[in-house]
Amino acid sequence: MNADKTFTILDKEQLIPGQTSKLVVSAPQIALKAKPGNFVILRIAEKGERIPLTIADTDPEAGTITMVYLVMGKSTAMLDELDKGDEILDLCGPLGKPTHISTEAGTVVCVGGGTGVAAMHHIAKGHHRAGNKVVAVIGARSKDLLLFERELGQFCDKVLIATNDGSAGVQGFVTGVLQDYLENESDIGEVVAVGPVPMMAAVAETTRPFEVKTTVSLNSIMLDGIGMCGACRVTVAGDTRFACVDGPEFDGHEVDFTELSNRLAAFKTMEQAAHDHYCKCKCDD
Amino acid sequence: MTEPIKKKKKPLAPRVPMPNQPPAERVKNFEEVALGYTYELAVNEARRCLQCKKPLCVKGCPVEVPIPQFIAHLAEGNVGLAYETIKTTNSLPAICGRVCPQENQCEGACILNKKDQPIAIGRLERFAADQYVHIDACDLLTGRRDCVPVDPSKRVACIGSGPSSLTVAGYLSSRGVKVTVFEALHEVGGVLVYGIPEFRLPKDRIVAKEISALGLQEVEFVTNSVGGKTFSIQDLFDRGYQAVFIGVGAGLPKFLNIPGENQNGVYTSNEYLTRVNLGRAYDFPNYDTPVIRAKNVTVYGGGNVAMDAARTALRLGAESVRVVYRRTVADMPARREEIEHAEEEGVIMETLAAPLAFSGDDRFNLTSVKLQRMELGEPDASGRRSPVPVEGATYELDTDLAIIAVGTRANPLLISNEPELKLNDWGYVQVDEKTGETSIPNVFAGGDIVTGAATVILAMGAGRRASKCIAKRLGCEREGD
């Protein structure tokens, strides 16, 4: 039972130049066990912090997992400096509860925003494989920033698009598209939303009057990712739950999104300091 | 018949005090507080030992260290033999000498404890271990007799790399078993690494050394590997392991369940200590893991973990640190020494107080806590006087960092993925008390995942118990096992 000892980057693709990239990493053990909804925790350098990333796809036969990240702070900036052939220092997983996938869900509407589309992609694929009809709703500011449109098109029954500038699909937000779909279609078994907190909160409010089961995948701050520290705690239906072991998926109608976005801001100044320190150190080199 | 003439007893010398870093100095650094005995101090202390024929101290030790024997060697100045004697039953003496609650165990049982100060067994163990911690376990006194050749056909897996698993690894590998230890985090050592602060247990100098000594006994360590997630127990048997030891710790933190608890600035002790110890957040931004450095810190709980968190906060520059506890200092479950060290360093014991609610600013940051004044009422069933609220006596304290250290629950990660594993009424793994075997044959468990949050040495005792049974099954026990 030797777990993977090296995690080599086999492929890297810039999805949105300078902002979002996709990595295919060799991790046979994780690839074998990972299911839609799972995430990993990785560390890039000896002095690095542990950061969670959702698994966007797996290939158990090739022994690889795919991850998509947005360059935001120091750690993701460091990750972005790695290239094909480089190794990720630590990669731990698969973590979190897998998505609950019923084979009789009917139509599952998967809504994705930002890098959340990557996680949504894996969940949508799981539903498709289970024989459910999958409709994807993806959004971005403009056409060039849309992620996974082609991949989703390969197995989704429909891919509905919303862009802020109208350069692709409908002009507006994913919630507008979702609202239309909910009003016009009747066989919707479940709505899944992954993306920025305001988007997930808006999706939950959009579906609430329709009483459609709505699952959200939460991106709370994590440290160990194995249920030890409680940093990732979220209030769901009035109870404190841990995104890392009880989630990351919860009933969107029960999540306290205000608390979640407040908690996500906890380290903002320190993250900025770390990023500035990193940039300064790089300049000094 | 005439009474035999009683020999006049020599008055016993006082217990040799431990040299410590001065409080004013040590609050500014993460260096070890207790500096350790010198050779002279150790020999003097060892000579106080009465060498009882029926030593009670050994009975007080969960891993049955031959205490009088090792102390006799020290009294004669033979440190090497003393260390070797300790090592026959304890694979982590430099750690135990530092973090064991000796006052409740060996030293608590010491016959001298009845009328006088007990022998400083822990300090002596630490002294002997420290003299040899730089020497590889197998090379000790060149004999290499502890390192028997490993038989690759005898394989045992340990899940978790804390003190219980390390004990299993030490015991079984010294009997020729190939042991693999799986750890979920990126560093090996479990609570010794993420939980216990550097100033009480140095990571590189002590923990890493004891672990690398196990490496020389061909123990294999696999990090980033989560039991119940990366692999299942069945996967381990499928891969040829003949027995599995579960030592995953307790995990899931408990909360106070009061309003405002999820605000920024309220940490669990696990989060706080993991950020600082495992993530080296004290060296942010050189290390990337951040931690809140606050002015007024309040810590909730009265155990060793609460003391560790409070003393860590002082070292990170807090102006005031208060340990809030419902009862009195005398009732605190922490080791006396830790409480004394904390008080010397300036930690305020805010006793007979219970938290009611946390308040924060409009940016969700913690600013204050409302406390309820308590008093001790009638003794409860356990004979302990239970704290009761003093009516109307509430007060408010400024606090921008609150650390909750009120214990843990069973971590669901492994156990929820192993439905065959029977749990006890408290949700911990149920084991046969004599062997540590679980409801799954050849799967053993020990440490906090069985007992709930307890001590390093109790976890090691459980590891030792399971090891004996596993060794017997694999036919590799030694004489005297």
Distance CA B58, CA B68 (A): 8
Q: B275 and B401: one domain?
A: yes
Nearest-CB residue to B252 (from A45, A227, A274) = A227
Among B251, B263, B287, the residue with its CB nearest the CB of A47 is B287
Residues B291 and B414 in one domain: no
Q: Is the pLDDT of residue B2 over 60?
A: no
Q: Are both B400 and B263 inside the same structural domain?
A: yes
Alpha-carbon gap, residue B108 to B77, rounded angstroms: 25
Quick check: is B9 in a domain? Answer: no
Considering only CB atoms, which chain A residues are within 8 Å of B155?
none
Owning domain of residue B238: 147-251+410-474
Most confident segment among B237-246, B250-259, B409-418: B237-246
Q: Which of B79, B98, B133 is the last residue of a domain?
A: B133
Residue B7 lies in a domain: no
Average pLDDT over all residues of chain A: 91
Is B10 part of a structural domain of the chain? Answer: no
Q: How many CB pairs under 8 A join A and B?
A: 142
Residues of A in contact with B282 (CB under 8 A): none
Count of domains observed in chain B: 3
B322: number of CA atoms within 13 Å, CB side?
A: 22
Q: Is B480 a member of any domain?
A: no
Residues B402 and B435 in one domain: no
CATH of the domain at B246: 3.50.50.60
Tens digits of per-residue pLDDT, A93-121? 999 999 999 888 889 999 999 889 999 99
Cβ contact B271–A91 (<8 Å)? no
Q: Let me know whether B57 and B90 are in one domain.
A: yes
For residue B171, is it within any domain? yes
- What burial letters (b/e) apply to B352-361, b meaning 16+ CB within 10 Å? bbbbbbbebe
Same-domain check for residues B124 and B168: no
Q: Are residues B373 and B310 in the same domain?
A: yes
**Which of B140, B191, B147, B198 lies closest to B166 in space, CA to CA?**
B191
- Give me the interface pTM, i.e. the ipTM: 0.92
Binned at pLDDT 50, 70 and 90, residue A232 comes out as very high
The pLDDT of residue B480 is 66
Confidence (pLDDT) at A73: 84
Last residue of a domain, which of B359, B383, B407? B407
Spatial distance between the Cα atoms of B176 and B151, rounded to a whole number of angstroms: 6
What is the band of A283 on the pLDDT scale with cuts at 50, 70, 90?
A: low
- For residue B103, give both structure tokens: 């006052």
Contact A229 B412 (CB under 8 A): no
Q: Determine the Cα–Cα distance for residues B267 and B255; give it in Å rounded to an integer.
A: 10
Count of beta carbons in the 10 Å neighbourhood of residue B148: 16
Say if residues A10 and A84 touch (Cβ distance below 8 Å).
yes
What is the share, in percent, of chain A residues with pLDDT greater than 90?
A: 81
If asked whether residues B235 and B264 sit together in one domain, one would say no
Q: Between residues 13 and 32 of chain A, which touch chain B (CB distance below 8 Å)? A: 29-30
Q: Is residue B183 part of a domain?
A: yes
- Say yes or no: B200 and B314 in one domain: no
Contacts of residue B4, Cβ cutoff 8 Å, sequence gap at least 6: none
Q: Do the beta carbons of residue B292 and residue B265 sit within 8 Å?
A: yes
Pick A265 or A191 by higher pLDDT: A191
Q: Is B61 left (phi over 0), alpha (psi -120 to 50) or beta?
A: beta
Q: Do B395 and B442 have their domain in common?
A: no
Q: What is the per-residue DSSP string for A161-210?
A: EEETTSSSSEES-HHHHHHHHHHH---EEEEEEES-HHHHHHHHHHHGGG
**Percentage, residues of chain A above pLDDT 70:** 96
**What's the one-letter identity of residue B11?**
P
Report d(CA B422, CA B433) in Å as an integer: 14
Is a pLDDT exceeding 60 seen at residue B353? yes
Interchain pair A92, B286: CB under 8 A? no
Distance, CA of A155 to CA of A101 (rounded, Å): 16
CA atoms within 13 A on the CB side of A83: 0
In a domain, residue B420? The reply is: yes
d(CA B197, CA A39): 29
B382 and B290 co-located in one domain = yes
pLDDT tens string B184-211: 999 999 999 999 999 999 998 899 988 8
Q: Are B230 and B129 found together in one domain?
A: no
Question: Do B93 and B87 contact (CB within 8 A), yes or no?
Answer: yes
- The radius of gyration of chain B's CA atoms, rounded to the nearest angstrom, is 23
Query: Which of B78, B108, B133 is the last residue before a domain boundary?
Result: B133
Residues 6+ apart with CB under 8 A from B149: B176
Note the pLDDT of residue B189. 94
pLDDT tens digits for range B461-478? 999 999 999 999 999 887
- Which of A33, A50, A242 comes nearest B229 by C-beta? A33
pLDDT at A18 exceeding the cut of 90: no
Q: pLDDT tier at A53 (50, 70, 90 boundaries)?
A: very high
Domain contains B13: no
Pick among A7, A229, A236 to test the B interface (most B CBs inside 10 A): A229
